């Protein structure tokens, strides 16, 4: 059945892919973005679609629209971006959640919160199951994002318990793919851009810290699957459990780009997690979801995107 779906942060990296998918599924899409980190270039090809509508709006302010579903993705997601305006980051997570939950309550709409693996902080449990409460520095440089997202989850579950709002909560692990911003400071985009330009690869620490990288198409499948089922409210981890070191990622990108860039070590950022790997049993059981795209295949698509972008 055709629905009207609101996507906050819809002009961002993940949001634009989600808007595409929802339109392909036959939905009417309201894309909301304040363009702090989002870009019209990500959604320019959607603007002529009669089922797509763009609204410039900041979720820190209330929004009054008619919708059936809400995907709440609005928030800067890379450390460089969210630390450049930490108060704004916290406001977006907390006040944005309050405003979107209020809209969902008024319209009896189902609402999905795009939470993050950062709620686990620098984890003491490995891999990270949804039952793990996390190890987060509440006053550190990353706290605006980590604690903002943790508070948003609190609000979602309190609105559900107190007012029976129909919620869904996913925790997104490191995601990559086309439309990553070239200067957003995320490790995949950093390494690819540096490799293609022949610049030194910035390796923080000794490169032995690990991450688990999920291709954006797999993430979108999990996100839509979570929204469209009626039994599980979450939280559910959505990520690829194939763990690799940052040094291994850099070496893979150097090989795939045929780059001669050298690896240059820099001090590890404060509170940077040492290990990160999702436990996805819950997603496999409740959603029938698991990632399909290998790291090499996903990096190939992402490298092709950046080659084209840098050639302009």
Give the H or E element holding residue 162: helix 143-163
Residue 186: the pLDDT is 87
Taking only the tens place, the pLDDT of each residue in 141-172 is: 999 999 999 999 999 999 999 999 999 999 99
Determine the average pLDDT of the residues in 47-75: 98
CATH for 4-176+214-240 is: 3.40.50.720
Confidence check: pLDDT of 270 > 80: no
Report how far residue 103's alpha carbon sits from residue 163's, in angstroms, rounded to the nearest whole number: 13
Ordered by start, the domain boundaries in the chain are: 4-176+214-240
pLDDT for 215 equals 98
Q: pLDDT tens-digit profile of 171-226?
A: 999 999 999 998 887 899 999 999 999 999 998 888 888 899 999 999 999 999 99
Q: How many CB atoms lie within 10 A of CB 24?
A: 8
Active site residue 176: no
Asked whether the beta carbons of 37 and 14 are under 8 A apart, the reply is: no
Question: What predicted TM-score, i.e. pTM, was given to this entire model?
Answer: 0.95
- Matching residue, tokens 């450049």: 84
Separation of alpha carbons 312 and 291, rounded Å: 32
Helices and strands in the chain: count of H runs, count of E runs: 9, 13
CB neighbourhood size of 273 (10 A):
18
Q: Which band of pLDDT confidence, cut at 50, 70 and 90, is reported for residue 271?
A: low
Structure tokens at 185: 């400071």
Catalytically annotated residue among 82, 120, 145, 159: 145
Q: Alpha carbon of 149 to those of 33, 168, 262: distances in Å?
A: 18, 14, 36
Distances (CA, A) of 213 to 121, 207, 217, 222, 279: 17, 15, 12, 14, 13
Placement of tokens 């993940």 in the chain: 14
Residue 202: strand pairing partners: 264
């Amino acid at each position: 059945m055709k629905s009207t779906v609101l996507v906050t942060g819809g002009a961002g990296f993940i949001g634009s892919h989600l808007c595409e998918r929802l339109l392909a599924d036959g939905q009417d899409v309201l894309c909301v973005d304040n363009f702090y980190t989002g870009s019209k270039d990500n959604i320019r090809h959607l603007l002529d679609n009669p089922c797509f509508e763009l609204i410039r709006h900041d979720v820190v302010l209330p929004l009054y629209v008619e919708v059936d579903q809400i995907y709440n993705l609005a928030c800067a997601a890379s450390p460089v971006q969210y630390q450049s305006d930490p108060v704004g980051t916290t406001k977006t997570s907390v006040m944005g959640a309050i405003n979107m939950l209020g809209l969902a309550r008024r319209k009896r709409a189902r609402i999905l919160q795009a939470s993050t693996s950062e709620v686990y902080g620098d984890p003491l449990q490995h891999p990270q199951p949804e039952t793990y409460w996390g190890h987060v520095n509440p006053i550190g440089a990353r706290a605006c994002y980590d604690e903002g997202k943790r508070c948003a989850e609190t609000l979602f579950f309190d609105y559900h318990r107190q007012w029976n709002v129909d919620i869904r909560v996913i925790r997104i692990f490191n995601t990559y793919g086309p439309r990553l911003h070239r200067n957003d400071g995320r490790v995949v985009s950093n390494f690819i851009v540096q490799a293609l330009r022949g610049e030194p690869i910035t390796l923080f620490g000794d490169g032995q810290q690990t991450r688990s990288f999920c291709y954006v198409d797999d993430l979108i499948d999990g996100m839509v699957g979570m929204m469209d089922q009626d039994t599980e409210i979450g939280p559910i981890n959505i990520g690829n459990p194939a763990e690799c070191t940052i040094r291994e990622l850099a070496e893979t990108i150097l090989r795939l780009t045929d780059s001669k860039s050298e690896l240059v070590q820099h001090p590890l950022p404060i509170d940077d997690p040492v290990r990160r790997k999702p436990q996805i049993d819950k997603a496999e059981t409740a959603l029938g979801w698991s990632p399909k795209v290998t790291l090499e295949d996903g990096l190939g698509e992402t490298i092709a995107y950046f080659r084209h972008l840098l050639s302009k």
